[in-house]
Structure 1
Amino acid sequence: ALLWPRAVAAGVPVRRVYRLGASCAAIGTSLSLLSSALVATGQLVAVVDVVATRSGSWRGALVASATVAALWPRVTRWPARVLILLAVVAEAASGHAASTPLPMAATASFAVHLTAVGVWVFALLAAVAGSEPVVTTLKRFTRPAVAAAVVVALTGAANTVLELAEPRQLVTTAYGLVVVVKTVAFAAMATLGFLHYRRRRAGADAGGVTRPVRAELAIAVLALVLATVLVGFPNPPRQDAALAEAGGLAGVLDGEDALSLARPAGDLVVALSVVPPEPGPVELRVDVLGLEPGESISAVTVSAASDGAQRISADLQTCGPACFSGPTEVPAAGRWTFTVTVVTADEQFEVTAAAPLPAPPGDEALDEAIAAMEGLSSATVTEELRGAVSREPIVSHYTFEAPGSMRFTVEGGSGLVVIGDTAYRRSEPDAAWEPRPWPGDGFTWPEAYYAGYWARGATAARVLGTAQVDGVATTVLSVARPDVDAWFELYVGEDDGLVRRMVMTADGHLMRQTYGEFNAPVSVEPPISYTSS
């Protein structure tokens, strides 16, 4: 669209090329959205949830603008420029640039980079596809192509600085190596461009000029493929470093006297840690999980009120892209209800969590609960699993029988029966059962089952209080597993030490399990349809 008059004069079928490019952009981006949904959930219908994310909404805008461009019957120069501008901004905002320490600058730089690449490549395409002699076409396009090449070099260097933390990452990371290969491709294109420029100025024949132009265009196509590969690397090194800094919760909790609780908020998870969990000076830390690339938090505040009417508040400072911390003073012992307020560019939300301060240690109670659960001969579990608070739960039912059998069914969905080293699976209620070997030494329950679930990598075990679960008096324990960014609350029977309920909170994984029918007579057998065959 920027070179429209020159392209028309050169005899390039501008509208055909424009629609072809727009169609490829719309189809390719649509396939990437469907692929994201399939990888994340195994269901193509989840593309609605993908488009609802910040990155997905930008890609949706790209699809929309490219589709309009492809279907517009008599598109002219200025509407074409507007649609291309929308597509370029959407592409720039949906990728890695939005996750750098300077997202606005990086997104703007990448948008200019994309525009310059388009001008350069189109100039080469016009020289090959135009109806006038190649030498004449090159005269028309040399100045904008050279200017575009300079802009590509400058913005490419700027983008690399924003994505890589240090120069050695060019050769020590996969992301950096792809950048190096793209740089080589750029150098080859620039060399070929200078070659056909010299030949044209020296009066070489059309063949002598056309060959390096075609080679330059072929390398340009290769560079575009490499750019697509680069998008496939989810975490450039600088983004990885930022995420590692944000994910330093394990270092905060490990070996520390701490309380850590998590609550869902829309599509996010907000975790609050109090170190130490007792009256007096404390350090508050809030971690937000589930942010999309480019989504940032502008402010986090924590307020709390005790059952004795005391109140505290603190404005936290950033300790990473999704981490905020700060000191405050808890004036007195009591049961404190904390309210965490998180402000993003688009919304503000609050979560609450209550705990006693001081919070009694829960390690001994956790060990006793695991020991009680691992002494069972049978049990049943009803599970509700959500990807986010607003989504409908997936309801499943488990039956366990010692020493190594389990029956699992999803309501209206798949089924699984495991007996020792053999698993029988079916994808839907009416499907045939298929036997498969169970990995390792075979399935075991309850030995080591709950220790691996709740205790491995666990820290900050605390007693939160008491609650009734189906008429049973329970003690509520909180446990954090920073190794997998998951938080558990266990409701442990006061009389028998058996877990009656478990609530797990993790990014995209909100699970509630209800346990019952302990030591009831059950028999988990291979599926009848399989044994009869």
Structure 2
Amino acid sequence: MAFLAVALGGHANSADPRFAAVATDALHLLAAAVWLGGLAQIALAWLPLERTVDRQLRRAVMAGVLERFGRVALPAFLIVASTGLANAWIQLGEPSALWQTSYGRLLGLKIALVAATALVSYWHAIRLRPRLLRANPRAPERLERRHWRLLGSEPLLTVAVVGVAAALVAFPLPPRQLADADEAQALAGEACDPCPQPKPRANELAVAEQAGSSIAAVWVRRDGTGLAGRLRVLDRDAKPVASARARIRAAEQTSCGPGCLDFRLRSLAPVLDVRVRERDLTSVARVPVRWRPDDNARARRLLRRSQSAMGELRSVRQHERVTSGPGSLAETWYRLRAPDRLAYRTNGRAESVTIGADQWSRVAGLPWRKDRFGGGGPAFRTRSWFRWTSYARAVRLLGVRREGDRRVAELALMDQATPVWFRLTIDLGTERVLRARMVAGGHFMTQRFAAFNRPLRIEPPVKSDVG
């Protein structure tokens, strides 16, 4: 019951599937206590006496204590290994998280230490001890010394395993649960009822692009050999633009209300050419509508992994362009260095430097002003900079293609509560995001990411420049 209580108080209690996670964690703890605890107890009880007792007593300890413990230790180790692998899969979700996340790398260290302990146990218990017990009249002294030295190293390895396990417990959540928490927040039905825009069905793609100052939002599905769906022209408040006149090239279309068209295409076109006329301005939006309807689960897994890979970067540069419509443009150049440094400058000559809980800002050559980051809230962390899963109520895989020597995938995300649409271009070799496109009311943004993990300095302003 004690081990079950520990499992219920740890990461397993927030994992999915919860029952399997808690059960395997409790069994893992119990088996580890038998195996590693038994090793430690034997070592502490007998090793201090090993040099002071005669050979006959040492031989009796081997045969009467160590051999009997081995019959219990081997099954306990097998349970530790199998439940540990099950827990790792539940906590990581993907094998790549083992080397792409801090939690995964620490878990890998624990696995290596457990494997080293098992190897030491195998060597002295399976290889050396039978030879020592069979020796007649006496075993070579060097073999016996090696046996006891190996046995003596196990408590040190056990302490290291327990230390790494304690460090893992200190993580707020393992990678899979962290992504699930973001996703659960995104998928929560209570966020809006009714929502400003409908959530796409499982067989639908929801995607959007800028059309002047408006949004050309499309919900599309396969219809035989063609496509069918609905186009909505929305303003900055996600309301229909009653004055808009929209047409889709090469499509059969009928009005479904202000700023709304139902359409059908006879072929699986890769892009919809949407022409929107408002007053005297005509805009064209090219909306991608080719996707893989059977790969929704794959798309969500790729989103999780890419967000995790971006959060694990040591450094990155980001170029961002934002417009609210024709005639407006704001550009920002960001630099991020893990774990807690951010600097940016804008085309409006604004600058900022953030280090943990401290932030310095200035505009157009004026002195720097120091404030608390976020008004005194939690300190800045680069890991929290990339949070696309929060807007992933629907995730679709638009396709996979080659860009030069890279193989890239493009994902489409939609959150009907905001509403907001994202498209991410991901390098499948590194699972890093190369580009992000966001479409929201009055906010059309393109981001490009580069210089991954390259040396980068971010320092606070010189004190003499701070006002």
Deviation by residue 1:16-62 (Cα, 9 ceiling, x = unmatched): xxxxxxxxxxxxxxxxxxxxxxxxxxxxxxxxxxxxxxxxxxxxxxx
Q: What are the within-5 Å matches in structure 2 for residues 118-517 of structure 1? A: 248-249=196-197, 251-253=198-200, 256-275=202-221, 282-290=228-236, 296-297=242-243, 299-303=245-249, 312-318=251-257, 321-322=258-259, 324-326=260-262, 328=264, 334-344=268-278, 346=280, 349-359=283-293, 360-361=295-296, 362-388=299-325, 390-391=326-327, 393-428=329-364, 430-439=365-374, 440-446=377-383, 448-451=384-387, 454-466=388-400, 472-517=406-451
* Partner SS for 1:456: helix
Quick one: structure 1 residues 397 and 282, their matched pair in 2 at CA, closer, same or farther if it must change by over 3 Å? same
Following TM superposition, by how much is the alpha carbon of 1:409 offset from its aligned partner in structure 2, in angstroms? 0.9
* Partner SS for 1:297: coil
Whole-angstrom distance in 1 between the partners of 2:348 and 2:279: 39
Check conservation: 1:270, 1:289, Cα contact below 8 A: no
* Partner SS for 1:391: coil
Amino acid at match of 1:441: P
Amino acid at match of 2:196: G
Whole-angstrom distance in 2 between the partners of 1:287 and 1:247: 16
Corresponding position: 1:528 with 2:467: no
Following TM superposition, by how much is the alpha carbon of 1:426 offset from its aligned partner in structure 2, in angstroms? 0.6
Check conservation: 2:421, 2:440, Cα contact below 8 A: yes
Q: What are the within-5 Å matches in structure 2 for residues 77-92 of structure 1? A: none
Following TM superposition, by how much is the alpha carbon of 1:346 offset from its aligned partner in structure 2, in angstroms? 4.7
Following TM superposition, by how much is the alpha carbon of 1:257 offset from its aligned partner in structure 2, in angstroms? 3.7
Following TM superposition, by how much is the alpha carbon of 1:370 offset from its aligned partner in structure 2, in angstroms? 0.6
Once superposed, what is the RMSD of the aligned Cα atoms?
3.4
Check conservation: 2:252, 2:263, Cα contact below 8 A: no
Quick one: structure 1 residues 275 and 498, their matched pair in 2 at CA, closer, same or farther if it must change by over 3 Å? same
Check conservation: 2:271, 2:286, Cα contact below 8 A: yes
Check conservation: 2:232, 2:240, Cα contact below 8 A: no
Following TM superposition, by how much is the alpha carbon of 1:350 offset from its aligned partner in structure 2, in angstroms? 3.7
Amino acid at match of 1:483: A
Quick one: structure 1 residues 530 and 442, their matched pair in 2 at CA, closer, same or farther if it must change by over 3 Å? farther
Check conservation: 1:258, 1:460, Cα contact below 8 A: no
Whole-angstrom distance in 1 between the partners of 2:223 and 2:318: 32
Quick one: structure 1 residues 381 and 358, their matched pair in 2 at CA, closer, same or farther if it must change by over 3 Å? closer
Whole-angstrom distance in 1 between the partners of 2:239 and 2:231: 22
Whole-angstrom distance in 1 between the partners of 2:233 and 2:352: 36
Following TM superposition, by how much is the alpha carbon of 1:326 offset from its aligned partner in structure 2, in angstroms? 3.1
Following TM superposition, by how much is the alpha carbon of 1:515 offset from its aligned partner in structure 2, in angstroms? 0.6
Deviation by residue 1:364-399 (Cα, 9 ceiling, x = unmatched): 2211211111111111111122221x3253222111
* Partner SS for 2:418: coil
Whole-angstrom distance in 2 between the partners of 1:403 and 1:358: 36
Specify every segment of 5 or more residues in structure 2 that has no aligned partner in the other structure, as ranges.
1-191
Following TM superposition, by how much is the alpha carbon of 1:407 offset from its aligned partner in structure 2, in angstroms? 0.5
Quick one: structure 1 residues 404 and 351, their matched pair in 2 at CA, closer, same or farther if it must change by over 3 Å? same
Deviation by residue 1:437-484 (Cα, 9 ceiling, x = unmatched): 1131111112x3312xx2213233222234566864421111123332
Deviation by residue 1:279-302 (Cα, 9 ceiling, x = unmatched): 577442424224899962365444
Amino acid at match of 1:525: E
Check conservation: 1:373, 1:498, Cα contact below 8 A: yes
Check conservation: 1:480, 1:486, Cα contact below 8 A: yes
Quick one: structure 1 residues 276 and 374, their matched pair in 2 at CA, closer, same or farther if it must change by over 3 Å? farther
Amino acid at match of 2:255: L
Amino acid at match of 1:411: N
Whole-angstrom distance in 2 between the partners of 1:277 and 1:403: 48
Q: Which has the higher contact order (CA 8 A, sep 6+)?
A: 2
Whole-angstrom distance in 1 between the partners of 2:385 and 2:224: 33
Whole-angstrom distance in 2 between the partners of 1:391 and 1:278: 42
Quick one: structure 1 residues 278 and 507, their matched pair in 2 at CA, closer, same or farther if it must change by over 3 Å? farther
Whole-angstrom distance in 2 between the partners of 1:435 and 1:487: 35
Deviation by residue 1:288-346 (Cα, 9 ceiling, x = unmatched): 22489996236544445xxxxxxx4222311xx54x25364x656x4532233445565
Structure 2 length-normalised TM: 0.51
Check conservation: 1:355, 1:465, Cα contact below 8 A: no
Amino acid at match of 1:315: T
2:12 aligns with none
1:148 aligns with none
Whole-angstrom distance in 1 between the partners of 2:240 and 2:218: 23
Following TM superposition, by how much is the alpha carbon of 1:523 offset from its aligned partner in structure 2, in angstroms? 2.8
Check conservation: 2:342, 2:458, Cα contact below 8 A: yes
Check conservation: 1:426, 1:434, Cα contact below 8 A: yes
Whole-angstrom distance in 2 between the partners of 1:462 and 1:468: 19
Check conservation: 1:300, 1:315, Cα contact below 8 A: no
Whole-angstrom distance in 1 between the partners of 2:339 and 2:247: 49
Check conservation: 2:340, 2:356, Cα contact below 8 A: yes
Following TM superposition, by how much is the alpha carbon of 1:531 offset from its aligned partner in structure 2, in angstroms? 7.8
